């Protein structure tokens, strides 16, 4: 009976350690995850201030401001809603108006999105999948009139007045 009791304690202790490890891993993964939100999703259900998320869309023509102190401030759209973003770092070399970007950061109490990282597309034919999906959704909702049958990249280029090369 003593061997059985020792074995039970070993099994219970092992189960406790495994459960604890699982809970700790879950908390660590939850803190490391950042979910993508389009500007329309943010307008519908704004995330809590300070909650780390990713937002993406097309950089609106004429919205980029580069203060003398460094960094940049710009707006992105998914053709349904816009988000104003500030970024204190150096923008990627491929960043420009009218292209798809994804910014990672958090909203302030004032509603301004402060980015800690900005990702830009890497070639002319690429658009981040989240941005392409948001633009396709905008097309389905009729936000881009006359755009039936075009893919998300073409929608984005039509929005900024460029053509595919």
> How many domains does the chain contain in total?
1
State residue 128's pLDDT score.
65
Range of the domain at 59: 35-120
DSSP 70: S
In a domain, 103, yes or no: yes
| Closest to 49 (Cα-Cα) out of 102, 101, 114 | 114
Residue 82 pairs with which residues in a beta bridge?
77
Is position 37 annotated in a ligand binding site?
Answer: no
| Closest to 127 (Cα-Cα) out of 39, 56, 40, 54 | 56
Is position 126 annotated in a ligand binding site?
Answer: yes
Q: Is there a contact between 23 and 15 (Cβ–Cβ < 8 Å)?
A: no
Could you tell me the CA-to-CA distances from 140 to 38, 143, 144, 150 in Å, in that order?
15, 8, 8, 11
Q: Which of 87-96, 137-146, 148-157 has the highest mean pLDDT?
A: 87-96
pLDDT tens by residue, 15-49: 999 999 988 888 777 666 667 888 998 989 888 89
The CATH number assigned to the domain holding 42 equals 2.40.50.140
In a domain, 131, yes or no: no
Q: How far apart are CA 148 and CA 1, in angstroms?
A: 75
Q: How confident is the model at residue 151 (pLDDT cuts 50, 70, 90)?
A: very low
Q: Is there a contact between 54 and 130 (Cβ–Cβ < 8 Å)?
A: yes
Conformation bin of residue 63: beta by default, left when phi > 0, alpha when psi is -120 to 50: alpha
């Amino acid at each position: 009976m003593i061997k059985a009791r020792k074995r039970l304690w070993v099994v219970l202790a092992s189960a406790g350690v495994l459960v604890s490890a699982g809970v700790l891993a879950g908390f660590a993964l939850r803190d490391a995850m950042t979910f993508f939100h389009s500007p329309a999703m943010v307008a519908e259900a704004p995330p809590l201030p300070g909650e780390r998320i990713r937002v993406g869309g097309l950089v609106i023509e004429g919205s980029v401001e580069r203060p003398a102190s460094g960094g940049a401030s710009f707006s992105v759209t998914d053709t349904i809603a816009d988000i104003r973003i500030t970024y204190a770092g150096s923008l990627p070399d491929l960043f420009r108006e009218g292209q798809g970007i994804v910014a990672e950061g958090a909203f302030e109490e004032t509603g301004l999105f402060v980015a800690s990282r900005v990702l830009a597309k890497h070639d002319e034919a690429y658009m981040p999948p989240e941005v392409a999906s948001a633009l396709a959704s905008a097309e389905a909702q009729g936000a881009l009139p006359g755009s039936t049958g075009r893919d998300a990249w073409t929608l984005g280029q039509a929005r900024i007045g460029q053509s595919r090369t």
